[in-house]
Amino acid sequence: MTIQLYGFWRSNAAFRVRVALALKKLAFEEIEVDILSGRQFDADYADVNPEHVVPTLVHDGQPIFQSLAIIEYLDDIRPEPRLLPADASERAYARALASVSAADSHPLTAPRVRKHLGKTFNADAVAIETWCRHWTAEGLAAYERLLTRRPAVPFALGPAPTIADICIAGQIVLADLYGLELAAFPEVAALGRRCFENAAFADAHPFRQPGYK
Amino acid sequence: MTIQLYGFWRSNAAFRVRVALALKKLAFEEIEVDILSGRQFDADYADVNPEHVVPTLVHDGQPIFQSLAIIEYLDDIRPEPRLLPADASERAYARALASVSAADSHPLTAPRVRKHLGKTFNADAVAIETWCRHWTAEGLAAYERLLTRRPAVPFALGPAPTIADICIAGQIVLADLYGLELAAFPEVAALGRRCFENAAFADAHPFRQPGYK
């Protein structure tokens, strides 16, 4: 089996997929698509992914896109360790937690959104950073409320990390990128520490990627 | 089995869940949470859903949130008709298509985002509508490219509607809300016509809900 990942050091969705690949011990080649320079709109990449987003995982020549769909796919083709719980209601909770960042928080800070804020509202760099910090903090606050109601012992769904922990760790990565402190989010911070003790999470962090300066 | 759906006539995510429930012929009671008036932040609803978003589906007393997680859950507890294909790579494609709207397009037009644009950039009603139309059109354009590469015959994944068609139909609902023409998106428009011929889709449309004036 050969796996290529079209990703980028700063892409939060690529971070999620790198963690999943590492947890499942699947080797892959990463191909850089510089989304800050708009390379996701190049014709070559549009052939790989007509949505013009990263990441795309190519498994034996077949492209799969959208980070949560990729992680679910990896769980199908390489079931161990499981990133989705076996029980239906637990699986639903894991997916819901994943979507708090992947659908409701992270998309609001994507490069195309930052760019559009500048173009539409003349937002300068400071205003755009403030926007990103706001939505990143909103996502962290939602996770804090959820983890307060159902504490992570030690991970969100139980003994081992799942798709939920990957996305919560991704939200912490956004906090790192935007210089947000986690002091107001103690449950999230504690879960994050447990995640980043694991090399699968730590080595996937944007600051550890070759493209990061 | 008893099902309650905390939803709202205008919520795109609630639309998706109403379609899924109807396709599976699952009866449910809908409880209105007026997200335009901020009722999703009320303490009573925060107990149901600490993320403060709609919809939440309550199945025999257990709350499940996030529309895609709910639809996957319904597919687990009531497998027929299947809304996720059986084949792993087809399932991945269905989930990826679903996320184009649910993660990358619709969240950018949610009430909390519209409100924050007003507060942060002094965006007036016209500017906010323009913002929503822009991101709705971006989502439609992504779907058009994807459906051009792999035509829907007659639905996105094949003979029957899946989670992908539900989310593409939801993107068309956003176009209806923001007064966008579909002429530039013929593949999307044709798929939408096939979807809305089905009462499960048509009856779930925001304009057919009791709360719509």
DSSP string, B120-133: HH---HHHHHHHHH
Boundary (domain end) residue, out of A51, A66, A81: A81
Residues A66 and A127 in one domain: no
Option in B73, B95, B123 nearest A72 (CB)? B95
Residue type, A119: K
Q: pLDDT tens across B51-104, in order?
A: 999 999 999 999 999 999 999 999 999 999 999 999 999 999 999 999 999 999
Residues A130 and A166 in one domain: yes
Residues in A closer than 8 angstroms to B149, CB to CB, are 50
Residues in B closer than 8 angstroms to A108, CB to CB, are 107-108, 113
Q: Is residue B210 part of a domain?
A: no
Option in A73, A95, A134 nearest B92 (CB)? A73
Q: Is residue B206 part of a domain?
A: no
- Say if A89 is an interface residue toward chain B (CB within 8 Å): yes
Residues in B closer than 8 angstroms to A77, CB to CB, are 88
pLDDT at A213 exceeding the cut of 80: no
Q: Is residue A212 part of a domain?
A: no
Which of residues A79 and B211 earns the better pLDDT score? Answer: A79
CATH of residue A25:
3.40.30.10
Range of the domain at B121: 88-198
Residues B73 and B96 in one domain: no
Residues B9 and B60 in one domain: yes
Residues A98 and A75 in one domain: no
Option in A53, A92, A127 nearest B64 (CB)? A92
Residues in A closer than 8 angstroms to B121, CB to CB, are 117, 121, 123, 127
Residue located via tokens 């999470």? A201
Domain count, chain B: 2
The answer, yes or no, to whether ipTM is higher than 0.90 is: yes
Q: Is residue A120 part of a domain?
A: yes
Q: Is residue A105 part of a domain?
A: yes
Residues B63 and B38 in one domain: yes
CATH of residue A105:
1.20.1050.10
Residues in B closer than 8 angstroms to A134, CB to CB, are 116, 120
Q: Which of residues 152-211 of A touch B (CB under 8 A)?
A: none
Helices (H) and strands (E) counted in chain A, each on its own, are: 9, 4
Return the SS3 of B180. coil
Boundary (domain end) residue, out of B81, B111, B146: B81
Residues A112 and A198 in one domain: yes
- Say if A99 is an interface residue toward chain B (CB within 8 Å): yes
Boundary (domain end) residue, out of B81, B116, B143: B81
Task: State how far the Cα of A45 lies from the Cα of B75, in Å rounded to an integer.
Answer: 33
Q: What is the pLDDT of residue A211?
A: 85
Residues A92 and A74 in one domain: no
Interface touch B107/A102, C-beta < 8 Å: no
Residues in A closer than 8 angstroms to B139, CB to CB, are none
- Say if A120 is an interface residue toward chain B (CB within 8 Å): yes
Q: Is residue B211 part of a domain?
A: no
Residue B27 C-alpha, separation from nearest chain A C-alpha, in angstroms:
19
Q: Is residue B36 part of a domain?
A: yes
Task: State how far the Cα of B185 lies from the Cα of A103, in Å rounded to an integer.
Answer: 24
The dihedral formed by the CA atoms of B45, B46, B47 and B51, expressed in degrees to the nearest 10: 120
Residues B102 and B63 in one domain: no
Q: pLDDT tens across A156-166, in order?
A: 999 999 999 99
Q: What is the pLDDT of residue B186?
A: 98
Residues A100 and A156 in one domain: yes
- Give the number of A-B residue pairs with CB atoms closer than 8 Å: 130
Average pLDDT over residues A167-177: 98
Option in A69, A76, A95 nearest B69 (CB)? A95
Query: Which of these, A4, A115, A114, A101, lies nearest to A54 by C-alpha position?
Result: A4
Q: Is residue B213 part of a domain?
A: no
Residues B189 and B109 in one domain: yes
Q: pLDDT tens across B7-40, in order?
A: 999 999 999 999 999 999 999 999 999 998 999 9
Residues B39 and B101 in one domain: no
pTM: 0.98
- Say if A116 is an interface residue toward chain B (CB within 8 Å): yes
